Amino acid sequence: MPGRLAGKNAIITGAAGGIGLETSILFAKEGANVLMADISAEAVQRAEAKVKQLVPNASRVESIVCDVSKEDQVEKMVSTLDPWGGLDIIFNNAGIMHSQDDDAVATPEAIWDLTHNINVKGVWFGCKHAVLSLRKHKKTKGSIINTASVVALVGSATPQLAYTASKGAVLAMTRELAMVHAREGFRFNSLCPAPLNTPLLQDWLGDDKPKRLRREIHFPSGRFGEAVEQAQAVVFLASDEASFVNGHDMVVDGGMTKAYVTPE
Ligand code: NAD
């Protein structure tokens, strides 16, 4: 199938919903062979069926259950692509924001550890096994994209300390890997999404107008982002169009992190 990602083998983690699902759909539309990975078996199978339904002429779409915080599972996920010819792209996107995540005083240590095991160690394992696979298959180029967040760039007075620290780690780790592997042709870039119009956030905000306004007012565009707007940026970073984009913090936030006073 022709497209901007034609012939490329891609893994997307956290593929069952939100950004991961929208990216799976766009990758399939752009001709990639896609392995959708998620910790939830039922959800990722449903998501796989949705991609196949929306993109009936997709090259290859499969799914796998993988907890990214477990290295043996990440290794198995990446090796699934060996018979496909090896990985070309990995989008390390799985992440959690726990409801008990709070400030320095109130965040339980177990929540800190859980968040960092998934959001940081999970991304490290994804990067590590991507590099090993790219080398094994003698690839001269590869694209690794890791999901961070705007909270890695700007502070928030509604704290989720473990989450914020984990996303800062993703940015720093990605930048360093970009330098380490540049001469091998392996590019590493971060995606920094702003708060999105996903059910998670919207259900939480509900009809509470002041709570909603407290967040919406920071967007120059006057609205939250959509998951598909993140996915569009990921397609670019994954494609050869971004061949000279490396170590970049791709901020997709409608200008939020550049705002001082926003339009009324
Ligand atoms: P989401 O909750 O819809 O998707 C996350 C997916 O990751 C889920 O399908 C979940 O089952 C999966 N997952 C959780 N733990 C996992 C694990 N251990 N192994 C494998 N999969 C696991 O959320 P989303 O909004 O699409 O978030 C995707 C990424 O974007 C996350 O890293 C998140 O932190 C980041 N992000 C989201 C927003 C936002 O407003 N939605 C903003 C900034 C950053």
Please name the amino acid found at residue 204.
W
The vertex-115 CA angle with 113 and 120, nearest 5°, equals 95
**Which are the contacts of 158, defined by CB distance < 8 A and separation ≥ 6?**
none
ipTM of the assembly?
A: 0.99
pLDDT reported for residue 205: 84
Gap between the Cα atoms of 252 and 190, Å rounded: 11
pLDDT-derived band at 204 (thresholds 50, 70, 90) equals: confident
Residue 264 has a pLDDT of 85
Catalytic, out of 91, 124, 163, 219: 163
Q: Residues 6 or more apart from 236 whose CB is under 8 A from it? A: 242, 245
Which of 11, 13, 39, 123 has most ligand 1 atoms within 8 Å of CB, for mutation?
A: 39
Among candidate residues 225, 211, 217, 223, the one with its CA nearest the CA of residue 264: 217
Indicate if the pLDDT at residue 178 is higher than 80: yes
48: which 2 tokens?
Answer: 């796989």
Tokens of 214: 């407290």
Predicted pLDDT of residue 56: 97
Q: What is the pLDDT of residue 185?
A: 98
Phi, psi dihedral angles at 194 (to 5 degrees) = -85, 170
d(CA 95, ligand 1 centre) in Å: 4
- Label residue 218 by pLDDT band (50, 70, 90): very high
Tell me the C-alpha distance between 180 and 186, whole Å: 9
Cβ atoms of residues 69 and 117 within 8 Å? yes
Residue type, 153: L
Asked if the model's pLDDT at residue 199 lies above 80, the reply is no
> For 140-149, 181-190, 200-209, 235-244, which range has the lowest pLDDT when averaged over its residues?
200-209
- 260 catalytic per annotation: no
Q: What is the mean pLDDT of residues 215-236?
A: 95
38: β partners: 65
- First-to-last alpha carbon distance for the chain, in angstroms, is 46
Q: Which of 210, 207, 95, 209 is nearest to 160 (CA)?
A: 95
Q: Which residues line ligand 1 (CB under 6 A)?
A: 13-14, 16-20, 38-40, 43, 66-69, 93-97, 118, 122, 147, 149, 193, 195-196, 198, 200-201, 227
Buried/exposed 219-234: b ≥16 CB within 10 Å, e otherwise: beeeebbebebbbebb
Amino acid at 194: A
Residue 36 has pLDDT above 80, yes or no: yes
Look up tokens 């780690």; give the residue: 169
